Amino acid sequence: MKKLLVSLANKYETASFCDEDPSQFLGWYKKSTADIETASFIAAMLAFGSRTQFIPKIKQILEEADKSSGCISAWLKSGAYKKDFPKGSKKFYRFYSYDDMQIFFDELAAILTTSKTMGEFFKTRWQESKTKEPAPHLADIIGQSFPKSSIVPKGRSSANKRIHMFLRWMVRQNSPVDLGLWKWYPAADLLIPLDVHVMQEAQKLGLLPPNATASRKTAIELTKKMEEIFPDDPARADFALFGLGVDSSPKTTLS
């Protein structure tokens, strides 16, 4: 099993992984950390359903921001998004309306107004949380920082897959895919982003029971098993299981 998963991780954790994956937006901006993090976060939060549907929606946001303000962080901090994404019940993507998008952008703008970057904002809150018992996971801190937005997943029992995918992007070092911008957070504490492909392949390989559900408990269980194979970097198993699942499935969906 160890040889298989390491081999699969080596196969899929390559630069070409980004070609059709939402991680392609990690390279939308090259210089500004604030822009890189923010574009990545928006991409992660909308990365569910069909890739052929959500990837154009993410592009639409970033292209509109660049056209209007030159970059995503300036677009948010200036409030230009309110004109470009006017409130209304009209649907933007799936069950999220333009109202939902503006609330999401409002809270992102508030974070970028408070701190220079999202990383600085969450680092401060993570360090403050260490005095609490039990200390919350960084994913919970991120979710709680968007109290009004339905787009950002929340809940201690939920797998919160999209937040954990974003954290993998930000935290893991020396990867041709993940950026490793947040050197202050240990990769050993990451949880595997538990999407449908990862779940299915983990169950096929006997890493999870057939009746396992996409929950925080399941994500922790799978991550602990992957610590034995990828010490101090269990989230690397995401590439192995997700890549295998995508290759095995005719569907191009994320959940």
29 close to 35: Cβ distance less than 8 angstroms: yes
Structure tokens at 215: 């929950």
Look at the alpha carbons of 183, 187, 188, 189 in this order and tell me if their dihedral is positive or negative. Answer: positive
Structure tokens at 135: 């200390």
Q: Is the peptide bond before 250 cis (omega within 30 degrees of 0)?
A: no
What does the longest C-alpha to C-alpha distance in the chain come to? 53
So what's the pLDDT on residue 107?
A: 98
Distances in Å between the alpha carbon of 226 and those of 1, 79, 172, 175, 253?
Answer: 10, 43, 15, 18, 24
So what's the pLDDT on residue 76?
A: 98
E strands in the chain: 49-50, 91-93, 96-97, 253-254
d(CA 91, CA 100): 9
Residue 137 burial class via C-beta count within 10 angstroms: exposed 0-12, middle 13-18, buried 19 and up: buried
In DSSP terms, which residues pair with 97 in a beta bridge? 91
- Predicted confidence (pLDDT) per residue in 117-150, tens digit: 999 999 999 999 988 878 789 999 999 999 999 9
- Predicted confidence (pLDDT) per residue in 89-125, tens digit: 799 999 999 999 999 999 999 999 999 999 999 999 9
Instruction: Give Cβ neighbours of residue 201 (< 8 Å, ≥ 6 apart).
Output: 241, 242, 244, 245, 248
pLDDT tens by residue, the chain, 255 residues: 999 999 999 999 999 999 989 999 999 999 999 999 999 999 999 999 989 999 999 999 999 999 999 999 999 999 999 999 998 879 999 999 999 999 999 999 999 999 999 999 999 999 999 888 787 899 999 999 999 999 999 887 888 999 999 999 999 999 999 999 999 999 999 999 998 889 999 999 999 999 999 899 999 999 999 999 999 999 999 999 998 888 765 555 555
So what's the pLDDT on residue 202?
A: 94
